[in-house]
């Protein structure tokens, strides 16, 4: 099975996962729906216009068709569509749509769309969609950049389209003139610049990069050096010369020796080369100019007055200091919806992310916020009074999606979340019964010698045990110095009784020995799974540490609530399926992928180590393409994957045997028989090879 999101999360997120909404087939109504209304009429009995073979689900109030399913899948990212075109994937999507639909029907029966919380969220979505469309139609689409305007902008901003020169130099900053002369003398004798730099360079940045400074753009700042106009000018006028050196030269940063090793001259980019960039930079400016003109006209029309004096005194860094001004009206207009108080402004500021808040704090402050909010409000007000925008909104998928999402979200909250609670007794009971989960187990620390072979190990063990018995640290150190071949594994800590030895890996034998050896004692000679010999002393054992209930209470409460939410969601789901008489027909689903596409998905899944997913794709090929070729190959690949990658030898053996029974002949049969012999230990050629090797 695929790893799909839980149904509980899916109900809330489904509307955002797919941009096209499932349309319920309803009888035609004589009354035209008001597009501004938040409430939606309860659906009447569906008018059957879809062929019976295409109906995948039926419920009170609607159907789900194959076309609806395909529309959902088509809205997924292309790379994710493949897995949902399998029968299993389609079944999962059908179940998710079914859950969404019964939740939506229940929400309507509960009059959820009329709740203030939902209406407020939908109104916010409505405003956002209308403002965006208003800006597109009234501003963005109205800006037409002429060739003359772009040429003029280019000429006025030539410096912005200039590519600065690029230079690289060898640079040495000496402590004084005497040291500079010594360095120069060594360089002139042929010494490597990097070695001379390491010896004399006082500039840490240059010294760390062997004296080679790159990306000098002649912009007033030399990387790693800083501002030194005289030195920069010297670099500018000097030709590339890899044989001679300039200096010693004293400038504001000290005594320097330089050698220009690379120079790419700066150039003015021609207009045609940067025409697209000119457009990208000029267009926002023109859009801002047009928007300002529109907003100025709207402000006059609605008699908007802004209290700039109060705004200047507001403190966004410490919003609490503005409490005395909360009820002061900072925006007044003929239309009440445009009015704004200090409290309105601060509430909006409080809902912003820290990054957004900092943008206003360091930027234009309250005045900038008010100007932007007034512009949005004016655009919304103007668009709300236009029939063309009403029609746009009525057919806007994003707005419909937002409506549906907020209704589903509130329904889920009422039906599932609000009824949940976790008591102190439940938390205590779970803690007591899962104490092991909150306990860090005992851990040991050892001091280990890793000799080169068994004979040396026995000798080292004897000397080590003798030194430990006498508590002779000098003798212990001497043994380690003489015999230990792995100094990085001398002290090994945090070793748990779990069959794993840090620094070695999974090694039950060595782990057991570490825990069987008494604290303070020296172990017998052992051999790790990597065939390395080892002798160790158990230095200490730390007792288990149990986290208190106080430490884990919050995590426990969250986990218990999550478990309850999952169970409650499943209960509600089944109740709603019954209430709305939901019937699904997954047997009507058909594979939407070719055998070649399924093989590609299986290969991709295997490369990503998603082996269970890969076996599902092979199963789909076997089920839907039983042509003796595709199913033949898929059966073998599944058996091989289960055996070699998933490590299930018994299941793999069974699959290979079934393969040979089902397909008595074929080019892969010999390989299948080889795998069977290997799994049953009857691979004679391999045994003979091993015997030959042992005789040699």
Average pLDDT, whole number, for the chain? 89
Inside any domain, residue 30: no
Mean pLDDT over 286-300 rounds to: 96
325 plus 374 within the same structural domain: yes
> Which residue among 358, 385, 412 closes a domain?
385
Q: Quick one: pLDDT band at residue 684, thresholds 50, 70, 90? A: low
pLDDT score, position 78:
87
> Which residue among 385, 415, 430 closes a domain?
385
Q: What does the block give as tokens for 98?
A: 């079914």
More confident residue, 135 or 25: 135
Inside any domain, residue 476: yes
Q: Is the pLDDT of residue 686 over 80?
A: no
251 plus 192 within the same structural domain: yes
602 plus 691 within the same structural domain: yes
606 plus 659 within the same structural domain: yes
Inside any domain, residue 182: yes
Ramachandran class of 315: left when φ > 0, alpha when ψ lies in -120 to 50, beta otherwise:
beta
309 plus 222 within the same structural domain: no
Inside any domain, residue 356: yes
Mean pLDDT over 395-406 rounds to: 91
Q: Is the pLDDT of residue 619 over 50?
A: yes
Comparing CA positions, the residue from 400, 324, 429 lying closest to residue 113 is 400
Structural contact between residues 135 and 379, judged by C-beta atoms closer than 8 angstroms: yes
451 plus 514 within the same structural domain: yes
Inside any domain, residue 643: yes
Q: What does the block give as tokens for 85?
A: 């075109």
Q: Quick one: pLDDT band at residue 537, thresholds 50, 70, 90? A: very high
Which alpha helices (DSSP H) does 238-274 contain, by range?
none
Query: What's the CA dihedral at 645, 648, 651, 656 to 10 degrees?
Result: 40
Residue 627 belongs to domain with CATH number: 1.25.40.10
Q: Is the pLDDT of residue 22 over 80?
A: no
- Portion of the chain with pLDDT greater than 90, in percent: 83
307 plus 248 within the same structural domain: no
Q: What does the block give as tokens for 321?
A: 């200091």
Inside any domain, residue 413: no
182 plus 260 within the same structural domain: yes
pLDDT score, position 10:
39
Comparing CA positions, the residue from 539, 531, 534 lying closest to residue 473 is 539
Q: Quick one: pLDDT band at residue 696, thresholds 50, 70, 90? A: very low
691 plus 606 within the same structural domain: yes
pLDDT score, position 61:
87
Print the domain residue range for 219.
Answer: 165-265
Q: Quick one: pLDDT band at residue 26, thresholds 50, 70, 90? A: very low
Inside any domain, residue 576: no
Q: Is the pLDDT of residue 51 over 80?
A: yes
Tens digits of residue pLDDT in 447-485: 999 999 999 999 999 999 999 999 999 999 999 999 999
Tens digits of residue pLDDT in 425-439: 999 999 999 999 999
CA distance 462 to 466: 6
184 plus 251 within the same structural domain: yes
685 plus 620 within the same structural domain: yes
Q: Is the pLDDT of residue 40 over 70?
A: no
pTM attached to this predicted model: 0.66
pLDDT score, position 592:
84
Output the DSSP codes for 336-361: GGG-EEHHHHHHHHHTS-HHHHHHHH
Q: Is the pLDDT of residue 609 over 80?
A: yes
Q: How many domains does the chain have?
A: 4
CA distance 522 to 466: 10
Q: Quick one: pLDDT band at residue 48, thresholds 50, 70, 90? A: low
Inside any domain, residue 583: no
> Which residue among 240, 265, 290 closes a domain?
265
Residue 506 belongs to domain with CATH number: 3.10.50
């Amino acid at each position: 099975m695929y790893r799909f999101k839980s149904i509980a999360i899916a109900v809330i997120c489904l509307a955002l996962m797919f941009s096209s909404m499932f349309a319920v087939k309803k009888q035609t109504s004589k009354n035209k729906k008001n597009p501004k209304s938040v409430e939606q009429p309860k659906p009447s009995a569906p008018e059957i216009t879809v062929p019976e073979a295409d109906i995948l689900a039926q419920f009170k109030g609607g159907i789900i068709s194959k076309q609806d399913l395909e529309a959902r899948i088509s809205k997924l990212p292309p790379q994710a569509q493949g897995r949902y075109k399998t029968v299993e994937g389609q079944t999962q999507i059908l179940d998710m749509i079914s859950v969404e639909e019964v939740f939506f029907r229940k929400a309507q029966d509960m009059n959820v769309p009329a709740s203030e919380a939902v209406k407020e969220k939908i109104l916010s979505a409505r405003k956002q969609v209308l403002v965006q469309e208003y800006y597109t139609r009234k501003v963005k689409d109205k800006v037409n950049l002429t060739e003359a305007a772009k040429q003029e902008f280019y000429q006025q901003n030539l410096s912005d389209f200039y590519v600065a020169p690029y230079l690289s130099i060898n640079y040495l900053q000496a402590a004084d003139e005497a040291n500079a002369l010594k360095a120069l003398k060594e360089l002139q004798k042929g010494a490597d610049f990097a070695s001379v730099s390491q010896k004399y360079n006082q500039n840490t940045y240059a010294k760390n990069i062997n004296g080679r400074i790159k990306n000098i753009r002649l912009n007033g700042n030399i990387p790693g050096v800083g501002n030194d106009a005289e030195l920069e000018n010297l670099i500018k006028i000097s030709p590339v010369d890899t044989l001679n050196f300039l200096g010693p030269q004293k400038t504001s940063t000290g005594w320097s020796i330089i050698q220009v090793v690379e120079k790419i001259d700066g150039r003015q980019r021609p207009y045609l080369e940067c025409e697209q960039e000119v457009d990208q930079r000029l267009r926002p400016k023109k859009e801002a100019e047009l928007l300002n003109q529109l907003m100025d006209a709207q402000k006059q029309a609605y008699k908007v007055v802004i209290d700039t004096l109060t705004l200047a005194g507001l403190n966004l860094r410490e919003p609490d200091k503005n409490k005395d001004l909360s009820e002061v009206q900072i925006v007044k207009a003929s239309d009440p919806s445009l009015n704004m108080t200090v409290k309105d402004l601060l509430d909006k500021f409080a809902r912003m992310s820290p990054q957004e808040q900092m943008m206003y704090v360091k930027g234009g402050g309250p005045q900038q916020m008010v100007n932007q909010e007034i512009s949005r409000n004016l655009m919304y007000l103007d668009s709300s009074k236009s029939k063309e925008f009403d029609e746009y909104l009525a057919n806007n998928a994003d707005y419909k999606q937002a409506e549906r999402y907020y209704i589903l979200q509130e329904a889920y909250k009422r039906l599932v979340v609000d009824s949940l609670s976790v008591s102190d007794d439940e938390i205590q009971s779970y803690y007591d019964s899962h104490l092991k989960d909150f306990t860090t187990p005992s851990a040991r620390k050892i001091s280990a010698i890793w000799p080169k072979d068994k004979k040396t190990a026995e000798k080292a063990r004897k000397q080590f045990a003798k030194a430990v018995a006498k508590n002779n640290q000098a003798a212990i150190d001497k043994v380690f110095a003489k015999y230990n071949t792995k100094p990085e594994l001398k002290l090994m800590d945090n070793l748990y009784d779990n069959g794993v030895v840090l620094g070695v890996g999974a090694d039950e034998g060595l782990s057991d020995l570490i825990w069987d050896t008494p604290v303070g004692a020296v172990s017998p000679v052992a051999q790790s799974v990597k065939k390395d010999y080892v002798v160790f002393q158990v230095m200490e054992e730390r007792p288990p540490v149990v986290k208190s209930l106080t430490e884990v209470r919050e995590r426990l409460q969250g986990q218990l609530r999550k478990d309850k939410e999952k169970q409650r969601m499943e209960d509600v789901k089944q109740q709603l399926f019954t209430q709305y008489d939901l019937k699904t027909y997954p047997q009507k689903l058909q594979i939407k992928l070719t055998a070649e596409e399924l093989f590609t998905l299986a290969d991709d899944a295997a490369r990503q180590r998603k082996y269970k997913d890969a076996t599902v794709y092979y199963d789909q090929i076997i089920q839907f393409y039983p042509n003796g070729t595709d199913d033949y190959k898929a059966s073998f690949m599944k058996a091989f994957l289960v055996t070699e990658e998933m490590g299930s030898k018994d299941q793999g053996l069974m699959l290979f045997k079934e393969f040979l029974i089902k397909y008595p002949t074929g080019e892969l049969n010999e390989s299948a028989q080889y795998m069977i012999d290997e799994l049953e230990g009857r691979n004679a050629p391999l045994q003979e090879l091993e015997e030959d090797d042992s005789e040699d």
